[in-house]
Amino acid sequence: MSTEALVVAQNLRKVFPAPKGMKSEPIVAVDDVSFELFPNECLAIVGESGSGKTTVARMLVGLETVTGGSLSVRGEDRNKGARGLAGRRRWAREVQYVFQDPYSSLNPRQGIGDIIQASLSLHAPGNPGKRELKLKAGEILDSVGLGSAFHRKFPHQLSGGQRQRVAIARALAADPAVIVLDEAVAALDVSIQAQILNLLSDIRARREVSYLFISHDLAVVNQVSERMIVMEQGRVVDAGNTAELLANPVHPYTRSLRAAVPGPGWKPVRRERLAS
């Protein structure tokens, strides 16, 4: 692993203004968060809903602005928005985002092959022609397990797992250094989850791409990541090697997350019994 980090976040902070018409304080979504992501590494950010993990991811890709601290990719400051269309495309070629619900991020009127070709036309070097774009799109779709039969299909004709493969293929079309995976397998059943996780592992082996893996599922995180940070109420409360941290969690919040993972013989408990 290279000693030079691709992504560096130092004392990262994000504050949202209070909702209009409400007499309340501004909302601190992320507070004093620091981490590094290295080449060909998977770093997981773990926490419950509202912990701030997705806000961190959105700042990294430029969907949210940084309130305080610093955030850089390959040494370039990302605290302020990219300048102009060329700047936004350059940022996108470095960091791509795969959402939890791929259907909402895919154009329902575009065929699958056209979706990948559109991404290639924005990011591929050398201004390739239509034939070259079509061939390259086919190669990328094949690499995520979608053969030629899928190239003319539309998103509504695919299963959830197949749509997520398309979303991953679209991200790969930009040839990024980093892919942010925001709860990318949370909406899939267990068997399809395993297929997508294996696919992500294969892609890392072939392309040496880095992942920022956002999840609340510790079992999935344990399978895919080398390191993890744990967030609670916008702050990092635990961090370290994934396997070691899950085997011997330090912070009480990490221990509570680990204890909530169902194990052999687990039975659901009614809420009123938990509260008693």
Residue range 36-49, pLDDT digits in tens:
999 999 999 999 98
pLDDT of residue 129: 83
pLDDT tens-digit readout, 57-71: 999 998 899 999 999
Query: In angstroms, rounded to a whole number, what is the distance separating the alpha carbons of residues 112 and 161?
Result: 14
pLDDT tens-digit readout, 208-246: 899 999 998 898 999 999 999 999 999 999 999 999 999
pLDDT surpasses 80 at 83: no
Residue that wins the pLDDT comparison between 34 and 259: 34
Query: In angstroms, rounded to a whole number, what is the distance separating the alpha carbons of residues 72 and 228?
Result: 19
pLDDT of residue 269: 52
Q: Is 63 left (phi over 0), alpha (psi -120 to 50) or beta?
A: alpha
Residue that wins the pLDDT comparison between 83 and 227: 227
Token couple for 76: 């370039």
Query: In angstroms, rounded to a whole number, what is the distance separating the alpha carbons of residues 203 and 42?
Result: 12
pLDDT surpasses 50 at 103: yes
pLDDT-above-70 percentage for the chain? 93
Residue that wins the pLDDT comparison between 196 and 87: 196
pLDDT of residue 273: 44
Query: In angstroms, rounded to a whole number, what is the distance separating the alpha carbons of residues 62 and 100?
Result: 18
**CB-based contact 174:93 (threshold 8 Å):** yes
Task: Choose from 40-44, 77-81, 99-103, 257-261 the range with maximum mean pLDDT.
Answer: 40-44
Ordered by where they begin, the domains of the chain are 7-106+177-275 (3.40.50.300)
What does the DSSP 8-state code read for residue 7?
E
Least confident span in 81-90, 101-110, 144-153:
81-90
117, amino acid identity: Q
pLDDT of residue 76: 87
pLDDT tens-digit readout, 163-191: 999 999 999 999 999 999 998 888 788 88
